[in-house]
Amino acid sequence: MTRATHHDALVEITTPQAAPHWALLERQLLDAQCDAIELFYKRYFDSRGYLLCVPRWSANDGPDDAAENLLNWPLVYALGGSERVMELYRTGWEGHLLQYTEAKTTEIEKGKDGVYFKEFHACFDWFHHGEALNAFVLEGLADPHDETLIRRMKRFAGMWMGEDPIATNWDPEHKLIRSMMTGSRGPLLRQATALDWAGERLEVEGRFKALHGEHTYEQFLEHYRDYNDVVGDNWLNLASTSLAFCAYALTGEQKYRDWLVTYVDQWVRWSAENDGIMPSSIGLDGKVGSQYGWWGGVYGWGFTVETFPFDGRKAHRNYQTRTPYAFANAMVVTGERGYLDTWKGMYEKVNANTKTENGQTLYPHMFGRPEGISHKEGEPGWYEYRPRKWSPGVEEMYYWTLDRGLLELAPEKPRWFAYLDGELPEYPAQALQHDLERLRRKVEEIRADTRTPDTTLSDDMNAINPATIDALTRLMLGGLPTGRHGYPLHCRVRYFDPERRRAGLPQDVAALVDRITDDEVGVTLVNLSPMDERTVIVQGGAYAEHHIESVKAENGTETAVDHSHFAVSLAPGAGERLTISMRRFANSPTMAQPWV
């Protein structure tokens, strides 16, 4: 694998094109959410970037939710949004770091010097760490040369690589992360309590509207009463590989790639030892299941708890949908697609454990004791049978592999994939209109919110964060929406504005990806300006990981590229569809911009 170097391949587009409806909607949605982000920021942040809320240590309303109010803002900018979006993001990000460093606990030992220590959560789980870091791991797509970002990313990654003498999260002998709850203060090496999850006492009824349905602090504790089994490694810890991935893409330092590959390789081995089923719990001795059984641990295969409020119903919370991204991290840094086989192979293995009821075939979705994790007796086995096959992460796996057989696991073909197959020509306009309507409703709620800061929790405004980029990510980039995962962006193309020396489409330019194959991408570029020429750089992948061989215009003209990117000159009002030939995952990932 090689890194990109300078080149000068240029495609000139001069064919006039009437402004397509999708292009007008795309630019409207991008511009409108930039304005809405400004409105949101003024309503929910102060001049220091502090969130106007009661800061707490909590799985319900902790610092991860505070950071989620900035969710995807760097990507809005990297798509072509305004400079102001990044100014507000930086102020809000720095503000929340200080706010949660100043916030301290009295009963939770690891938080007594600050919920944040060294600018990172003192000790929590990677389900929540990932949500807190979503915007941060995407920040380099906007500005990879920010020295503060680079120092911080290296420091955060080092906390899981054995480089921090306080954050002793990594066991180099057994190649494992020592607890499901880790952070800048190191791992929690005892059974967790409800207090560790729910945070300290607060007044609830009449003051806050807890989004999980609690009415009293005692109910907060009851909610987390069974969230205990955290010692040893847990499959959610694989999210920590995103920090190493970003540190590598920012710096090129080999140690980050090496640690990422070492840790993912270890999980591949553990899965192979467990008959191809990825375990959810690894003991401190490095052995599969020696702590709680291979299916154990909080959010593991057998994590069935009583639904809150407790009414006899069960909640099945084997939260695994984000884990496939870790194997994709290894794939991108090495170019080895075989890293996806561990997860992909589980579809057949899990779904082979069928049973038949009333003539209907049912498929298991959990393994352990059906009565729940509080029951320690009885033989564990597959349970929680449903008519739908077990298939978490199947859309992502299809996107990475383009294995048509995977689509059969989905209850129905996702509309975006149907569009890429030429089945739904109306999809772009519909998807963009849908997100415009979502944005309108969010703005309506922002303006109607009359809460004061002392009656607001950090998660109250998460759902009305104006960054509404799902349709834009799919249509402009041919990419997977980043959501709350805390993982890097996966896309087939990305854009840069060489005139303004920044990420994103230039002013007035719209892009539409309409076809994706293993070695080709179809994309239409349009210049909506009737007066000014625009130049855009098109890159293969979010991190230049795809190597572009050539690009062919509709008129049959083909331009050799042999590089990670090429330039397109768009005459006023011009547009054309291009077919880009590429080799996927052929280059080492880098966040460096094309002119560096």
HEC string of 203-239?
A: CCCCCCCCCCCCCCHHHHHHHCCCCCCCECEEHHHHH
Q: Which residue has the tokens 């949605």?
A: 29
pLDDT attached to residue 164: 98
Q: Give burial (CB, 10 Å; 0-12/13-18/19+) of 352.
A: exposed
pLDDT in tens, 576-588: 999 999 999 999 9
Cα–Cα distance, 289 to 295 (Å, whole number): 7
Cα–Cα distance, 370 to 134 (Å, whole number): 33
pLDDT attached to residue 1: 47
**Any alpha helices (H) in 103-173, and if so which ranges?**
126-142, 147-158
Q: Enter the pTM of the model.
A: 0.97
Cα–Cα distance, 297 to 302 (Å, whole number): 8
Q: Two tokens at 348?
A: 């057949």
What does each C-alpha distance from 527 to 230, 267, 491, 507, 535 come to in angstroms? 54, 47, 22, 9, 9
E-only strand ranges, 240-372? 281-282, 304-306, 314-316, 355-357, 360-368
Count CB neighbours of 242 within 10 A: 27
Cα–Cα distance, 47 to 41 (Å, whole number): 10
Q: At how many degrees (to 10) do helices 254-273 and 241-251 cross?
A: 150
pLDDT in tens, 447-467: 999 999 999 999 999 999 999
Q: Two tokens at 274?
A: 């467990």
As a whole number, the mean pLDDT across the chain is 96
Coil/strand/helix, residue 355? strand
Q: Two tokens at 549?
A: 């061989």
Among the ranges given (214-218, 440-444, 465-469, 510-514), the one the predictor scored with the smallest mean pLDDT: 214-218
Radius of gyration of the chain (CA): 24
Residue 310 confidence class, pLDDT cut points 50, 70, 90: low
Question: Given phi > 0 = left and psi -120 to 50 = alpha, else beta, which region is 523?
Answer: beta
With beta carbons less than 8 A apart as the criterion, state whether 535 and 567 touch.
yes
E-only strand ranges, 517-596? 520-527, 534-540, 547-553, 558-563, 565-570, 575-583
Give the CA diameter of the chain: 75
pLDDT in tens, 541-568: 999 999 999 999 998 999 999 999 999 9
Q: Say if residue 307's pLDDT is above 90.
A: no
pLDDT in tens, 500-517: 999 999 999 999 999 999
Residue 3 confidence class, pLDDT cut points 50, 70, 90: very low
Ordered by where they begin, the domains of the chain are 186-192+227-409 (no CATH), 492-583 (2.60.40.1180)
Cα–Cα distance, 87 to 546 (Å, whole number): 30
The whole-number average pLDDT for the span 344-359 is 97
Q: Say if residue 91's pLDDT is above 70.
A: yes
pLDDT in tens, 250-306: 999 999 999 999 999 999 999 999 999 999 999 999 999 999 999 999 999 999 998
